[in-house]
Structure 1
Amino acid sequence: MSVLPGVTPRLAVLAIVYGGIAGLVAALTFTGMTALQSVVWDTGAQLFGTNTTLQIVTTILLGGALLIVLDRAAPSEDLQTLLRQSGDPAGLPRRAVLTTALAAIVAVAFGGAVGPEAGIVAVVAQLSTIVAHLIGEDVAMRRTIGEAGSAGALGGFYGSPPGAAAIDGDELGPRKILQLGAGFAGFFAFLAFMRLTPDTGGATITLPAVDLPYFDPWLIGIAVAAALAGLLFRGLHHVIDGAVSRIRRPWIVIGLGTVLFAALAALVPLVRFSGHHELHDLQVLTEAGDWSALLVVAVAKIAALTLCLVSGWRGGEFFPLVFIGAAIGGAVAVLVPGLEIGAAMATGMAATTAVGWKRPLAVLLILILLVDVPMAFPLLIGVGVAFLVNLLVSRGEGTSGGSDSEETEPGSPDSDDADGSRAAR
């Protein structure tokens, strides 16, 4: 008996139950990563006192050294590779998944300009390989286990089950229904655990409220500028990744990228971490009227994110791109009197993330639930402009001819080097 074509009650129950387990594991992993990050930086503050620059450089260099050691044990995988391989958890290389989880935990703990998604997904993937080996009687069950694990983990972390299900494409079908069910189960499990640990906090984004419905023509300009920032990230990532791919010794790539990132973080400390908690600092700069600092931070964050991704600092792009777009929106809000700060930042973060991540629908579904105040219209403007920009760019690539037109952009579901995997091999 089948509820839908290809979806049996057995698979549906499996997806929901395992999605909930994955959400709980994601919450435990995220809490552990956050706690370790606090320990690392609090210890550094005690050791270095008021010398913040020395603390930043030393901590990041130590993180890079640990990443080199882990890479010597086994090359790690990027987030996109883990998501693509989730359909075959039994075939995942366990050693590589383990080193990916450890590398992602190190990246978050030592201040990498990346999100914690890679570590969360890697830990769940490691669990999926074990569960698939124990109860995966056939291909359909093993695939359900792998995909439900990723959907449950990201559905909980992003706070958006539909957004997690849309990450690998927006085509509806039996697999998508199972992923959606797993995403909801993971979301509720993640939320329940986070409410038991209020000091950790989830991934909610807090912005100044705006009057509804709110529209200002300047929001379109913000969306265009923020979308261009997303394109800058994609282009810079492509160029640097192509350059470092010629270096045959991974430790050189990790070491060089770490040194450059440490120097950049010493100059602009706000480029550290995923950018989620640092959104508050952007609001402070916006309210202070420091538009130039906001633009400097946005550009520096693009460089920091790119350096981390190509040099083996494993993590996700979502929250760093949100941070970049919010900085651009805040800068424009300072320059345009009367423009609502919340709407400007929401529009910017939606446009930059949708272009840089190349997933407009997933970005909209995630942000519309992640932002803790109603921001539907500004988010729609940002994602709408980003969709048009992505369409124009893809058409331009399709008509440019040559081998470059066939390459996938960094961050896309089909990219083999979305987070710099070629650089760290």
Structure 2
Amino acid sequence: MANGTDEASPTVATLVRLSVPAILVGVVSGLGLFLVEEAAHLLKGVLWTDLPSLFGLDPDSRWWIFAVLSVVGLTVGLICTFAPGRGGRDSATVELLAPPIPLAAVPGLILVSLLVLAGGVSLGPESPIIAINTAIVLALVVRLWPRIDMRLVVLMTAAGTIGALFGTPVAAALVLTGVVATASTGGALWDRLFLPLLAAAAGSLTMRMIDGPQFGPTEIPPLGAPHPSDLLAGAAVACAAALVILAGAAVFRPLHASFRRLRSPLLYTTLGGVILGCLGAIGGPVTLFKGGQQMADLVRHADEHTTVQLLLILAVKLAALLVAATSGFRGGRIFPAIFIGAATGLIVASLIPEVPLGLALASGILGAVLAECRDGWIALFIAAVVVGDISLLSVLCVVVLPVWLLVMRAPKMLIPTASKQGVSGSSV
């Protein structure tokens, strides 16, 4: 930390002194997530319940889905063309943790995020929410605690937001372990994780108290005692899901470049909205939105879908993710990847009923998330949490190894920029 604190290892007094700011950062991060998602929920009610009811239309009809996504694309394009800050950074060019955006760009990014979350676009809230919270918290901390290292504030805000997103500080600890472990400063790992983890705990508790988890209940029977065949089956499902994401990554850059040939965000984001409308009309409501609740619904009603129908849902969701992420919409790719992984698991379970459903789902989610974010810890965590079966964890720890070998040198769903820089760890 700046201003005299030992960079090698923070003292107990330093950690205690900064605990109150860390807790407040976490609470503000959780509140920021709640307010954006609550506003998006209200707007979703207007778009998908009130308006179609007013006109006597079925909100699940193909024409309504097409109309809403097309209008959302046009509106997002207008914001990204004319609003101050142009709606924040192009999400295709940033990862989960990115440098802060200017405060002036926050209103536009909030509006775009609301439209994406409420309008049925296949992107998650993680990247925009972290960017919004970081910009706001930095502005507050500069006024209230100007001596705190801004790098630490960024890490605490990201931790608080991730903790709120996934309902537990463990998710933030796993994400940030790699960040702080590669920092150039010394000190024990947990010394540097203490304040971000405290912020993550405050953020997750705040979100838990005022809202619920991001994923609907799946009610899957537990695996129980694993068999050796489960390792092979899990690895096969995980690799299949990873290959689906890698197939999308292979066309990510060309697709991004194709949209940018239109030059104006108003044009290429509107076109993206029209294409998303067509995809939504084909795939139906289950392929819309970030995918958390839709995944739970798909799992509960999996018996009502044939293997061909599940393959169509998977293909539409992957295409929707690619179009949304490359055509100028703002949002994260982890939540759609979770849906894609679960859909892959359901397909395998429908083809080979001997594969336990929980194992198929968890392995598919692990493979898809790992291929998208290249973070083994968070992939393991999400797979176990979504399925809700701790007995799967030992199997998943083996399954993740061949998947990592598959994805470690493969292209990502990410557009590199000339001045790209990540968030460095802070020494506290």
TM-score by length of 1: 0.83
Contact kept, 8 Å, 1:77 with 1:97, in 2: the verdict is: no
User: Residue 193 of structure 1 corresponds to which residue in structure 2?
Assistant: 210
CA contact (8 A) 2:34 2:207 kept: yes
Could you tell me how far apart the structure 2 residues matched to 1:12 and 1:204 are? 33
Identity %: 25
Question: What residue is the counterpart of 2:22 in the other structure?
Answer: 15
CA contact (8 A) 1:11 1:144 kept: no
Counterparts of 2:73 and 2:348, CA distance in 1: 35
Letter in 2 for 1:61: S
Equivalent residue, structure 2, for 1:253: 268
Shift of residue 415, structure 1, vs aligned partner:
9.6
Equivalent AA in structure 2 for residue 327 of structure 1: A
| Counterpart position of 1:77 | 89
2:305 is the alignment partner of 1:300? no
| Counterpart in the other structure of 1:240 | 255
Structure 1 residue aligned with 2:237, among 191, 213, 222?
Answer: 222
- The aligned counterpart of 1:265 is 280
Change (3 A) 1:207 1:417: farther
**Conserved? CA contact 1:118–1:315, under 8 Å:** yes
Aligned to 2:185: none
Are the aligned partners of 1:151 and 1:182 in contact in 2 as well (CA < 8 Å)?
A: yes
More deviation, 217-226/239-248:
239-248
> Partner amino acid for 2:350?
V
1:311 to 296, 309, 327: 327
Change (3 A) 1:381 1:230: farther
Residue 269 of structure 2 aligns to a residue in which SS? helix
One-letter code aligned to 1:151: A
**Which deviates more from structure 2 when the two are superposed, residues 35-44 or residues 252-261?**
35-44
Aligned-partner residue type, residue 214 of structure 1: P
Shift of 1:334: 0.9
Cα distance per residue 1:203-250 (max 9 Å; x no partner): 355241223133423222211211101211221222211333444222
Change (3 A) 1:21 1:162: same
Local SS of the residue matching 1:206: coil
1:210 matched to 2:222? The reply is yes
CA distance in 2, matches of 1:348, 1:82: 21
Task: Structure 1: state its 5+ residue gaps.
Answer: 87-91, 196-200, 395-407, 419-425
Query: Secondary structure at the residue paired with 1:83?
Result: coil
Separation in structure 2 between the aligned mates of residue 321 and residue 298 of structure 1, nearest angstrom: 10
Give 1:5's aligned residue: 9
Quickly say closer, same or farther: Cα 1:238–1:307, change in 2 above 3 A. Answer: same
Q: Select between 167-176 and 257-266 the one with higher mean Cα deviation.
A: 167-176
Distance 2:235 2:220 in 1: 19
Contact 1:161/1:183 (<8 A) preserved: yes
- 1:346 paired with 2:346, answer no
Cα distance 1:96–1:382, how it changes in 2: closer, same or farther (>3 A)?
farther
The CA deviation at 1:82 is 7.6
> Which residue identity lines up with residue 206 of structure 1 in the other structure?
T
Asked if the contact 1:357–1:411 (Cα under 8 Å) also holds between the matched residues in 2, the reply is no
Q: 1:365 to 1:412 in 2, by over 3 A?
A: farther
Work out whether residues 241 and 368 of structure 2, in 8 Å CA contact, stay in contact via their aligned partners in 1: yes
Q: 1:108 aligns with which of 104, 117, 126?
A: 117
- The two structures, once aligned, show a CA RMSD in angstroms of 2.8
Counterpart code for 2:241:
A
> How has the CA–CA distance of structure 1 residues 365 and 32 changed in structure 2, closer, same or farther, with 3 Å as cutoff?
same
Q: What secondary structure is seen at the aligned counterpart in 1 of 2:149?
A: helix
Structure 1 window deviating more from structure 2 (33-42 vs 272-281): it is 33-42
Conserved 8 A contact 1:322-1:352: yes
Once residues 351 and 238 of structure 1 are traced to their aligned partners in structure 2, the CA distance between those partners, rounded to angstroms, is 21
1:20-419 alignment runs, 5 A limit: 20-46=27-53, 47-50=55-58, 52-71=61-80, 72-74=82-84, 75=86, 76-78=88-90, 80=94, 83-86=97-100, 92-138=101-147, 140-167=148-175, 170=178, 171-172=180-181, 173=189, 174-194=191-211, 202-203=214-215, 206-215=218-227, 216=230, 217-269=232-284, 270-284=286-300, 286-288=302-304, 290-374=306-390, 375-391=392-408, 393=409, 409-411=412-414
Residue 421 of structure 1: aligned partner: none
Deviates more, 1:174-183 or 1:280-289: 280-289
Equivalent residue letter for 1:84: A
Distance 1:412 1:251 in 2: 20
The 3 A distance-change label for structure 1 pair 81 and 231 is closer
Kindly provide the CA deviation profile for residues 156-176 of structure 1, in whole angstroms up to 9, marking residues without a partner as x: 111232322443561434543
Q: Given residue 20 of structure 1, which amino acid in structure 2 is its aligned partner?
A: V
State the one-letter code of the partner of 2:89.
E
Per-residue CA deviation, residues 256-291 of structure 1 (Å, 9 max, x unaligned), is 111111111111123211111111332245323611
- What count of residue pairs does the alignment treat as equivalent? 393
In the alignment, is the contact (CA less than 8 A) between 1:360 and 1:386 conserved in 2? no
Change (3 A) 1:147 1:127: same
2:163, 2:169 within 8 Å by CA — same for their partners in 1?
yes
| TM-score, normalised via structure 2 length | 0.83
